[in-house]
Structure 1
Amino acid sequence: MDDIPRDQLTGPLRRGAVKKHVAAIHVSGKLTLLQRKLSNVLLLNAYDTLTSQASHQMDARTLCLMIGYNSNDMETLKQSLRGLAETVAEWDMLDAEGKQEWGVSALLSYAKLKGGICEYAYSPALAEKLHDPKVFALINLNIQRRFTSGHALALYENCYRFVRTGSTGWWSLDLFRRLMGVADSPYYETYKHLNAKIIKPAVTEVNKTSNIVVTPEVRKMGRSVTDIRFRIAENPQLAILDLDDGEGLRNTEVYSRLRALGISDRLARQWIAEHGERYVREKLDYVAGQGGVKNAVGYITKALKEDYGSTRPPVSPRNPAPPSSARARRLARIRDLAAARKPTQRDADKRLFMTRLEGSAREDFERHGWMSALNAEAIVAFWKELSPEAFDDLD
């Protein structure tokens, strides 16, 4: 598959960087920009359970929004899923014992849409490869959304996994054409055409759009170009795009206290993002003051949900906000909507919303999550996109 570069998400994704040997998985046939983005979002959604679950699910509307097209356009989604199921991934690499391994698999073994849910699966052999950080690193979706060219995104994916070594190494032009999805076009067998229409535009967009800068170099036999490689350096102007969406949260005192109690990385960040540092700190202090709590994780979970130790009445379906407080009613509804989503969907929702934010608005959302007052109107608009009728009874 197009190498899905390393990125942030959760604990399992924060493993060691790629070292000497980087395996290669290549795609036969052409993938559109939309299909490349779709394949990356599906992998990101499935990553935590890639080798432990036979199939994976994702809300179809969220999936459409994350890859940047009309959330009601199910026909386009069907076509893109069909393309992934018909596209072949091929790998040729050394296994853990140094033995050569060749394999081939469809990118998706199946996909189906039912009741607003997209269900899909990978073959066991491909799932194993996709889950290995020596083969893949996950693409930062904030960066992915900025690309407008499928060739540029393909170049980025295949270069980014080599960012630690600074070079892709030499690729034959035949292999490079396969990576760019133009191997079947006689027009691009001529290097002059390949350079003018594929290489130069893709390099320009990668360097302008992403967190790396790539520089092509060629090797010739006589006057003919036979091989190409790309020098890779970090792009200091856009390096911020490669930051983990939760990195700022991990540097907080509240995060450290949660982790010390055995709360997982994902859950700690989720709580802080959803409730805000102050609210979580308040519950931590409350639980610490009880003394002798045997199950701190369970106690804190309930304290957050039931608003233990608060001097204000909790906003919940059982204890709704006063009728005069329209904002409080909307906040309660948003909290309910977010809580009803699956963990992977919640992560996807936040990442998608954060791509729309910059500066202080983004910082406020990182601190307070869906309760961010600075982004209140934008948050309501976002959830209306996901659930158009969610606020009808409140308005």
Structure 2
Amino acid sequence: MPGEAIAGDIPADRLTGPLRRASVKKNVAAIHVSGKLTLLQRKLSNVLLLNAYDALATQPTHRIDARTLCLMIGYNSNDMDTLKASLRGLAETVAEWDMLGEDGQQEWGISALLSYAKLKGGVCEYAYSPALAAKLHDPKVFALINLNIQRRFASGHALALYENCYRFVRTGSTGWWDLGLFRRLMGVDGSDYYETYKHLNAKIIKPAVAEVNRTSNIIVTPEMRKMGRTVTDIRFRIRQNPQLAMIDMDDGGAVRQGAVYDSLRGLGVSDRLARQWIAEHGEAYVAEKLAYVGRQSHVKSPVRYLTAAIRDGFTAAEPEPVPEPARVPDPGRSAAQEARERAEAEREAALAEERRGRAARMARVRDAAAARTPTQRDADKRLFLAGLRDPLEREDFTRFGWGSALNARAIFSFWEEMQPGLFDGL
């Protein structure tokens, strides 16, 4: 979560690709939040950061469709009051950092999590202070949280623990935190009740650890340090969760060593998009689509075609219509036989026309989906999936996306409602 990150030592020799820079140094960077964020505000903050991440260093302001933002956070897209309250909370929350600067000198600073936000015309516009934007964009300091994992959390304390531990996944341990800092990270500082370790352990530590281990892609194990009988410090050992291992966007070292990644990059796919596809679909699926696109001799833009193939689950080229051979009248056939054959031919022609019409509508859907931003596309798919009740339909859509034949009618209705007139002229 932006502003509440703690990143540990990241050795330069373990960074690959664009993360390798001459100025990378070992340091312990910490960004803490002074204030208590709700689960909704934590999730909102992560989505805003992910939406802005690629342009953090180049653009002073960022924009996202407000309806899409609401859907990604998981609340009613018409509830603008809740969105306003959450944005206000982020603007009123202070981030503080105390870290070793690039020049080797200690640097302390504070900033609001958002320098401003506004809603106008269905669009949320927002900005970070330049100093905070630089910290959030630096992979030594901050690691993006996978939103697929974030959505699983039901507790703000568990999500806070996950965020703060995930920054140390490369090093295997958070290092020791004094209990005062830990209470602050969990948003329970200032509470007399949680000054007692027994209460802190029973109500915060144990439930949060259990949810992180059950829900996320890491396993955390708390360890305590005492002075006499009093617990003074806590740290968390961290390892990958073998049951829920996911390829995270920030841990691209292993992915970049694979043949599938090399093929994607050789085709012209960006580093971030290549890792995203492999993370979301797996190497086998992406390799299958690469092979499929390679067999299409008519493709002028391989990257664009591959994007559609991965998104919509292309498995074979649309068959070209075959002209019906001219029938030679046979005087030996009865009038009834002729009528049945004509009716059958008409049915076949109608089915062929229906298939062509469906293919044309599918093409309109693919184009409409491609025109949306990545954030909007993710929200569109989740909104559609939420309306499917049949497990087979859900599985088919999960596998094939907007190319799901089993859900074709529902897909067309969904997009007609999203963009009235989308299928006009077909």
Residue 370 of structure 1 pairs with residue 402 of structure 2: yes
User: How far does residue 80 in structure 1 lie from its aligned partner after superposition?
Assistant: 0.9
Alignment of 1:78-157 (within 5 A): 78-157=84-163
Is the partner of 2:170 in helix, strand or coil?
Answer: coil
Deviation at 1:3, TM superposition (A): 2.3
The answer on whether the counterparts of 1:213 and 1:232 sit within 8 Å (CA) in structure 2 is yes
The one-letter code matched in structure 1 to 2:114 is L
Displacement after TM superposition at 1:304 (Å): 8.3
Q: 1:125 to 1:373 in 2, by over 3 A?
A: same
* TM-score, with structure 2 as normaliser: 0.71
Task: Report deviation, 1:303.
Answer: 7.8
Amino acid in structure 1 at the alignment position of 2:67: R
- Given the superposition, is the C-alpha separation of residues 54 and 393 from structure 1 closer, same or farther in structure 2, using an over 3 Å criterion? same
Match 1:331 to one of 362, 372, 378? 362
Aligned residues: 367
One-letter amino acid of the counterpart of residue 118, structure 2:
K
- CA 1:76–1:303 in 2, change beyond 3 Å: closer, same or farther? closer
How far apart are the structure 2 equivalents of 1:103 and 1:388?
A: 46
The equivalent position to 1:281 in structure 2, one of 263, 287, 294, is 294
Q: Structure 1 residues 52 and 376, CA, compared in 2 at 3 Å: closer, same or farther?
A: same
Which of 215, 221, 225 is residue 215 of structure 1 equivalent to?
Answer: 221
Pair 1:178–1:66, CA change in 2 (3 A): same
The answer as to whether partners of 1:276 and 1:367 remain within 8 angstroms in 2 is no
Q: Per-residue displacement from partner, 1:293-351 (whole Å, max 9, x unpaired)?
A: xxxxx85578889xxx99749xxxxxxx9567564354233223213213554466568
Stretch of structure 1 that moved more, 330-339 or 159-168: 330-339
> Which among 207, 210, 217 is matched to residue 201 of structure 1?
207
| 1:193-217 per-position Cα deviation (integer Å, ceiling 9, x unaligned) | 1111111111111111111111111
For structure 2, the residue ranges without an aligned partner over 5 or more in a row are 9-15, 278-284, 308-316, 322-351
Contact 2:116 2:128 in 1 (8 A): yes
The residue that corresponds to 1:318 in the other structure is none
Aligned to 2:188: 182
Q: Does structure 2 retain, via aligned residues, the 8 Å contact 1:153–1:206?
A: yes
Say if 1:303 and 1:152 are closer, same or farther in 2 by CA, change over 3 A: closer
**Partner amino acid, structure 2, of 1:286:** H
> Is the Cα–Cα contact under 8 Å of residues 63 and 123 in structure 2 kept in the other structure?
yes
Q: What's the secondary structure of 2:78's corresponding residue?
A: coil
Per the TM alignment, residue 55 of structure 1 is displaced from its structure 2 partner at its CA by 0.8
1:38 aligns with 2:69: no
Task: From 16, 19, 34, give the equivalent of 1:28.
Answer: 34
- SS of 1:24 mapped into structure 2: strand
SS at match of 1:76: helix
TM-score of the aligned structures, taking structure 1 as reference length: 0.76
Q: Structure 1 310/68 Cα, relative in aligned 2: closer, same or farther at 3 Å?
A: closer
SS in 1 for 2:168: coil
Tell me which residue corresponds to 1:341. 372
1:238 paired with 2:238, answer no
Partners of 2:305 and 2:203 in 1: CA distance: 59
Q: Specify the SS of the correspondent of 2:118.
A: strand
Q: 1:105 to 1:87 in 2, by over 3 A?
A: same
**In 2: Cα distance, 1:63 partner to 1:340 partner:** 17
Aligned AA (1:281): G
Alignment of 1:229-308 (within 5 A): 229-240=235-246, 242=248, 259-265=265-271, 277=290, 280-283=293-296, 285-286=297-298, 300=302
Q: Distance in 2 between matches of 1:355 and 1:80?
A: 24
1:354–1:178 distance in 2 versus 1, CA, 3 Å? farther
SS of the residue aligned with 2:223?
strand
| Distance change in 2, residues 1:120/1:146 (3 Å) | same
The one-letter code matched in structure 1 to 2:232 is: T
Greater relative contact order structure (CA < 8 Å, 6+ sep): 1
Q: 1:256 and 1:175, CA in 2 relative to 1: closer, same or farther beyond 3 A?
A: closer
Task: Decide whether aligned partners of structure 1 residues 150 and 106 sit closer, same or farther in structure 2, where only a CA change above 3 A counts.
Answer: same
Contact 2:173 2:236 in 1 (8 A): yes
Q: What's 2:73 paired with? A: 67
Q: Distance in 2 between matches of 1:375 and 1:245?
A: 35
Cα distance in 2, alignment partners of residues 279 and 365 from structure 1:
20
Equivalent residue of 1:40, what SS?
Answer: helix
TM-fit CA distance, 1:260? 2.1
Percent of pairs with identical residues: 70
Amino acid at match of 2:75: Y
Q: Does 1:160 find its partner at 2:192?
A: no
Flag the 1:356–1:267 CA change in 2: closer, same or farther, 3 A.
farther
